[in-house]
Amino acid sequence: MLTIAALNRVNFHYPVRNTPAVSLTQNLPYGQHAAVFSLGCGDLRHLLFTSHIDERPLDFTGCDLQPAVLARTALRLTLIADGKHETHFDNVWEIYYHFKITNSSLELLQNQAEKLHALGETFEEWQSDAYGSNVHFCDDGTLWEVCLIWDFYAKADAAGLKKYFDRVKAVRRDKDLTGWATLAAVRCAAPAISNAMFDMPKAHVHYWQHGTTSTHRDAISASTNFNPCFSTPGGNALLHYGSDPLLGFHLATAYAPVDTATAPNNNKVTIRQQSIQNLADAARNKFRDWARSFQKRSSTVTVRLYAGDAVSFGHLLQLKQAGKEGPACLYRDRNHFDPASLNKSLFAAGDTAAPTTFDVIDTSNLADHVGVLNFFVAARPLLRTEPWAAFYTETLLQYEGTFQAALEGLLCGKLRTVSLLIGLVLVDVATNTAPSAAAEISVKSLKSSLTGSRSPQQQQFTRLLWKQPMHLDELMASALMGNLLKHSLPNYQRASFVAFLRLVKTTVNTNWDAMVDHLLALIQDDSRLGTRANYWQELYLWMHMLGVHSVDALKRDPTTLGHRGRQQIHRWKNIPEVIAVTLKVPRKHLAFYTSFRDVSAVGTPPIGCSVSNHSSYLSGWLNQFAAVLTGFVFEAESDDLQHVYFSKAMPGLAARFPSTAPTKKSESSVSKGGIFSGGCSVRAKSLTAFTFEVTLGSSDVKYHLDFRVPVVASSVKTLIARKSSYTELVANATREYRAPSSFRFPVQRHQGALLLWNMSLVDLAKQPRLKATTEKHIKLGWLLLHMGIRMSARERYLRDNPSASMTAEERVMRDIKESLSYMMMHVAGVQKDPASLFAISCAEAEGINMLVIVSSLRLDLACRTVFLDAAVVQLTYELIDIMLRTLGSWTDKKQLCHLKVSTDELRLWKTLLPVWAERCRGNIWQHKTGPRREYEAAGRVPVTCEQSTDCLCSCGRGQFPVDYKISDSKAFKLLAEHATRVAISPIFFSPLVEDPQCPSVSATDRDFFGSAAGSRACVAAAFGDETPRCNRCGKAGVAAAADDAATNNAGGGGGGAEGRAALRVCSGCKKARYCSRGCQRADLKTHKLVCGK
């Protein structure tokens, strides 16, 4: 294996995952069929959500290390396919998400498991069944493993399950999950996090107490059976103590006033449970929607599943892609000798063959556990070489300091360095934008502002998008690789490093042998490597085995060395240059590790094996690992036939890993070589921050050269080597946040299609519309906090200090973020009067430039943010008369809000409008062909940025559904045929580029967060702080009894622990406390909504 091996006595079962579902296709252009590869696919929530909001054909290949996870997943998909009524879907919800289920659900589960086990007796029998037309298994081993688990489901006994869950709960009792539950909650409830951060921890505790998300008494009492789907055969993998089914869903609809509100519950629930039940109902309703969509789309969705190590599976697909279908040369996982393989019929050549290259690759959050570079090595070569292809990684980092530094630690180097080497650009860094605000920043804001406490330890969940947009000389490449080797992390070893070199060999143009020579010299001369520098032989070995580089010793025929080694191999006729040595360790020698009763105290120590013929070498080996090992577990002589084995391949495998790795080839330029010797000129023109157009001499032929990082166009220098007949461009990389504002959301034209580089697509019909209510100031109060974190610390400083020095780019980004916030606050009626009509005019010129007519504010579920569903009309000379009549009507009714912008901001608006229009067009309208397609005629997007001109193409004008809602529909009819529908989102900075600054929460603003968020005591409690605090100001005090009249009437006073004052207690709810009458009066309006007294 190319990753670290470790002893692990405790394995956790992850039946459900703890991050909300995302759209796997949100960055693919419309009309593009999607082949998706998911490493660590887990519960397939991403697939179900994607199939719900995107109707394009999907071919999904998923890999998970735990066969039990895939068995659950396949069982759920088959149950969904059989669904005919609502009760059935409710049973499926129970089976998949509750570890205590009803009799009817248990019966359905066990009948289905028995049915699937019978169908899975052979690969051919499964493939011939109706289920097999949609759900495939990539090899016989996966199907066999899954069938064993289905058989366990069908035959599981209640007594065995009870013992298993007793063990699970015993482990959970030792864990403090208060703060974790709060942070996990806000991710799934974003952007409406203010109440969820208090309700979700309660829901989590309820789930683990009762085994069900429902708070209805009848449902709890009926759920008497332990669910075998949450266990594993033999109970060797314990249900993870943090499992929570709600965390995989988008729960903002439980708090936001949406048009399709959940029907009121008929069962009696307590006031405390009401909010918990709303969360459960929101999640269950989402699941129903996903299940119905998947059932309807079964003919256009193909699912392929593989049980095994994700890194190994990626390499296996690479071998298949390269046409190397020889004997097995990889293990299925790190803990067994089972060889990895693919079913030949499923991966046979032809139109129906399983894909080995993909439009989208998603690695979940496995990078935190296995190492992100290992996933680039395994999966990067499988990404299609198309401009839309997307590679996603997720991180859930605990860190101190800046998130940028923590991420670079995870990547083992600078972001730009890694980007250059793997041939992918980290989109958020290149544009300094993020698709949504980091919910954790919101939580930090509330916690620090309302409780006055800050923690140096932070956690940040980030989903990273890498895309494809180079020539490295050998000195530069070796320096970059040498820098990576200095990072010694638990997820990497010499094999991992060499495998990364193998990837780099395929992605860069360089003199490879010269680069490796420089690299080896750097390693040899680096004194900081310490005893690790003693492992030259292992480094050379892996370089040779993986086809990266071969030293002279490994190029020679071993038979010419004269000595054939030990008696086990001296009779071999053909001795390969590399052989395998296997050490068999008697189990009794592992007793020191297996005898611990507290398995959590042992951890998962890495294991290693050393081969040496010098006794003096042992002390050095031990010194290197002194922090982990104090002695050898077992050792044996090479002549020990009982414990030492030599073989030409690894145990259980028939061959070694193929040693050929292709080198990146430069494009041929033979036919153009002579043009340089003729003294031609070379002209370079900037097209984007990445791409330059190069023209040679008077030729009409143009070449596009791409940089991997955005560069400063004015710094570009052209270098010409006339004798060698080549030219190159050299430029300075930009400081990311000073990249051109026009590049924040770039659009690329490709084969007649528009590709949005980093703006996600939205299906407007599937995004909940927020409705106006009489409690709007409370219901939409969370929008304040959400919009408050759109700016970084630098941008916030520039906003609060208008006289501060700033560049034009900094000013225009600050201004447009403010304008968008102004519009959204007006539409929501938060701190602003409700409005939906906005006239944007340039401060440097008279007249209105465009109208933005907002239909509604909607939730963007995939990105966990909001956007404006609006129509935009740009004022051109042809529309003056119509605009004047419409504007007069709206002005008389005082419905129009005027927004003054600078010339630069107006140009940025015109740059963004095509992006906002393209992201939401879906299948409603298509781009025209021929001369009427303005983008093609202009050769750019937008068509123009000049005033009094239309920056959009005409293809989308007038394309509105019949039921499109506008406040003044009569006036809108005059403009509808000239308007284009757009989805306008907030613009968020990227925490990968800049530091966040949690905005302060003033007492005035606190009411808008809702009653729970207005309580500083509740915020402190949500993070595990049990100190009694004032419900208004957060001041610490001493709890007083609810019936202590003296305390309640004294207005505070008294004394307590550590000199703190006694707190007044609300006579209504007997829970809220106040340090003074002033605080109680100030909190009265907010607290009454909860107290009801």
Asked if pLDDT for residue 624 goes beyond 50, the answer is: no
**Which residues, 6+ apart, have CB-to-CB distance to 353 below 8 Å?**
346, 347
Residue 894 is assigned to a structural domain of this protein: yes
Single out the residue of 487, 505, 581 nearest to residue 543, CA to CA.
505
Neighbouring CB atoms inside 10 A of 322's CB total 14
Domain match, 1069 and 936 both: no
Pick the residue with more confidence: 980 or 729? 980
Single out the residue of 765, 766, 770, 767 nearest to residue 259, CA to CA.
770
Cα–Cα distance between 594 and 584 in angstroms, integer? Answer: 17
Domain match, 921 and 1052 both: no
Domain match, 781 and 930 both: yes
Domain match, 249 and 343 both: yes
Cα–Cα distance between 608 and 494 in angstroms, integer? Answer: 12
Cα–Cα distance between 832 and 777 in angstroms, integer? Answer: 10
Greatest CA span in the chain, whole angstroms? 102
Domain match, 379 and 482 both: no
Cα–Cα distance between 10 and 15 in angstroms, integer? Answer: 16
Domain match, 378 and 503 both: no
Alpha helix ranges (H) inside 381-493: 403-411, 415-422, 427-431, 439-451, 474-485
Are the C-beta atoms of 842 and 875 separated by less than 8 Å? no
Single out the residue of 538, 535, 542, 641 nearest to residue 582, CA to CA.
641
Domain match, 963 and 1083 both: no
Q: What is the pLDDT of residues 315-343, one digit of tens each?
A: 999 989 888 766 678 889 888 888 899 99
Q: What is the pLDDT of residues 811-822, one digit of tens each?
A: 999 999 999 999
SS3 string of 512-551?
HHHHHHHHHHHHHHCHHHHHHHHCHHHHHHHHHHCCCCCC
Residue 518 is assigned to a structural domain of this protein: yes
The residue among 578, 606, 635 that closes a domain is 578
Give the pLDDT mean for 228-247: 91
Look at the chain and report how many structural domains it folds into: 4
Residue 677 is assigned to a structural domain of this protein: no
Residue 941 is assigned to a structural domain of this protein: yes
Burial of residue 313 (CB within 10 Å: 0-12, 13-18, 19+) is buried
Single out the residue of 363, 307, 373, 376 nearest to residue 340, CA to CA.
307
Asked if pLDDT for residue 622 goes beyond 70, the answer is: no
Residue 123 is assigned to a structural domain of this protein: yes
- The Cα-based distances of 249 to 20, 204, 501, 763, 834 in angstroms read 5, 14, 39, 18, 30
Q: What is the pLDDT of residues 410-449, one digit of tens each?
A: 787 777 778 878 888 888 888 888 888 765 565 555 555 4
Cα–Cα distance between 68 and 73 in angstroms, integer? Answer: 9
Strand partners, 872: 852, 980
pTM: 0.83
The residue among 543, 578, 613 that closes a domain is 578
Domain match, 336 and 484 both: no
Domain match, 1082 and 965 both: no
Q: In which residue are the tokens 């059932």 written?
A: 295
Provide the token pair at 704: 């596009």
Strand partners, 361: 37, 391
Cα–Cα distance between 470 and 223 in angstroms, integer? Answer: 61
Q: Reduced to 3 DSSP states, what percent helix, strand and coil does the chain have, rounded to the nearest 5?
A: 45, 15, 40
Asked if pLDDT for residue 890 goes beyond 70, the answer is: yes
What length is written for the chain? 1093
**Which residues, 6+ apart, have CB-to-CB distance to 571 below 8 Å?**
none
Pick the residue with more confidence: 142 or 407? 142
Mean pLDDT score of the chain:
79
Residue 613 is assigned to a structural domain of this protein: no
Query: Could you check whether the bond before residue 996 is cis, i.e. omega within 30 degrees of 0?
Result: no
Q: What is the pLDDT of residues 565-582, one digit of tens each?
A: 556 677 787 888 888 888
Cα–Cα distance between 868 and 838 in angstroms, integer? Answer: 12
Q: Which amino acid appears at position 283 of this protein?
A: A
Pick the residue with more confidence: 860 or 1079? 860
Q: Which amino acid appears at position 791 of this protein?
A: M
- The Cα-based distances of 638 to 323, 540, 614, 644, 646 in angstroms read 38, 22, 13, 6, 9
Domain match, 1032 and 957 both: no
Question: For residue 1, what pLDDT is reported?
Answer: 57
Cα–Cα distance between 184 and 121 in angstroms, integer? Answer: 40
Q: In which residue are the tokens 């419900």 written?
A: 1031
End-to-end CA distance of the chain: 65
Strand partners, 582: 645
Are the C-beta atoms of 233 and 152 separated by less than 8 Å? yes
Dihedral of alpha carbons 851, 842, 806, 730, sign? positive
Choice among 26-35, 533-542, 994-1003 with the minimum mean pLDDT:
994-1003
Its domain, for residue 375, covers 11-392
Are the C-beta atoms of 789 and 193 separated by less than 8 Å? no
Q: What is the pLDDT of residues 9-18, one digit of tens each?
A: 678 899 998 8
Asked if pLDDT for residue 610 goes beyond 50, the answer is: yes
Q: In which residue are the tokens 């060889």 written?
A: 339
**Percentage of residues in the chain having pLDDT higher than 90:** 30
Choice among 800-809, 1019-1028, 1062-1071 with the minimum mean pLDDT:
1019-1028
Question: For residue 679, what pLDDT is reported?
Answer: 65
Choice among 25-29, 471-475, 629-633, 716-720 with the minimum mean pLDDT:
471-475
Alpha helix ranges (H) inside 269-330: 271-296, 310-321
CA 1055 to chain centre: 50
Are the C-beta atoms of 872 and 852 separated by less than 8 Å? yes
- The Cα-based distances of 152 to 99, 109, 116 in angstroms read 16, 11, 12
Residue 382 is assigned to a structural domain of this protein: yes
Asked if pLDDT for residue 264 goes beyond 60, the answer is: no
**Which residues, 6+ apart, have CB-to-CB distance to 189 below 8 Å?**
195, 196, 197, 200, 251, 252, 254, 255
Single out the residue of 316, 239, 293, 282 nearest to residue 63, CA to CA.
316
Provide the token pair at 1091: 């107290």
Residue 30 is assigned to a structural domain of this protein: yes
Domain match, 208 and 348 both: yes
The residue among 578, 593, 616 that closes a domain is 578
Question: For residue 113, what pLDDT is reported?
Answer: 97
Choice among 177-186, 485-494, 954-963 with the minimum mean pLDDT:
485-494
- The Cα-based distances of 772 to 193, 563, 871 in angstroms read 19, 86, 19
Are the C-beta atoms of 21 and 43 separated by less than 8 Å? no
Max mean pLDDT among 11-20, 600-609, 683-692, 705-714 falls in 11-20
Provide the token pair at 768: 């909940």
Burial of residue 543 (CB within 10 Å: 0-12, 13-18, 19+) is buried
Domain match, 87 and 228 both: yes
Cα–Cα distance between 394 and 410 in angstroms, integer? Answer: 11
Provide the token pair at 403: 């998130």
Provide the token pair at 427: 């989109």
Choice among 2-6, 334-338, 794-798, 1080-1084 with the minimum mean pLDDT:
2-6
Q: What is the pLDDT of residues 849-863, one digit of tens each?
A: 899 999 999 999 999
Q: Which amino acid appears at position 99 of this protein?
A: F
Question: For residue 754, what pLDDT is reported?
Answer: 84
Q: Rounded to the nearest 10 degrees, what angle do helices 415-422 and 494-507 cross at?
A: 60
Question: For residue 473, what pLDDT is reported?
Answer: 42
